[in-house]
Amino acid sequence: MGHDAARAQLQVTHGAGVTDIVFDFSVKPRLSSERGNALLVASSIYEACKYFTLFQKTPFKGKCAVVTSYNPLAKDVTLEETGANTETDKQFIYNTYAELLKDVEATPGTTKTETYEDCAKALFTREPAMRHPPSN
């Protein structure tokens, strides 16, 4: 299977997974009552970003976060080569994080990513009904 075909299959799989999760939140008592939350574990940073992006097209827009080991640096993508109107996996990850962190102000001694993730983790455990990423 070529790279484009594999990527298309991944898109179908992700879309179905997101649809299933949105459905579960509408029918499972603990989730639909907003007294609970859920954690989705992806197999890669790319997949985590793909899921996050798909969730932004659902009722969960603004109510989910992505937490990975990635810290976006411009040097990660400056030498990436693409064809016309295409985006490499690295560029997709970088662009997802750039959008995600655009309004985050880093707390002293941490990066914007660390600030965002610390706040998201705290909200996940302390305020499960909120289910939204931090904002400053």
For the segment 20-72, what is each residue's pLDDT rounded down to a tens digit? 888 877 787 777 777 777 788 889 999 999 999 998 988 888 888 999 989 88
How far apart CA 122 and CA 43 sit, in angstroms, is 23
Q: Please report whether residue 99 resides in a domain.
A: yes
Band of residue 12 on the pLDDT scale cut at 50, 70, 90:
very low
**Residue 113, C-beta contacts closer than 8 angstroms, at least 6 positions apart:** 70, 71, 72, 97, 101
32 within a domain of the structure (yes/no): yes
pLDDT of residue 132: 47
User: Domain range holding 29?
Assistant: 3-126
Asked whether residue 117 is domain-assigned, the answer is yes
pLDDT value of residue 81: 64
Q: For the chain, how many residues are written? A: 136
For a pLDDT cut of 70, what percent of the chain falls above it?
75
Q: Which of 28-32, 77-81, 110-114 has the lowest mean pLDDT?
A: 77-81
Residue 135, in any domain of the structure = no
According to the model, what pLDDT value does residue 135 have?
45
Is 7 domain-assigned? yes
Position 121 in a domain: yes
Query: Is there a domain that residue 131 lies in?
Result: no
Number of domains observed in the structure of the chain = 1
Using CA of residue 59, residue 70, residue 82, residue 43, what is the dihedral sign?
negative
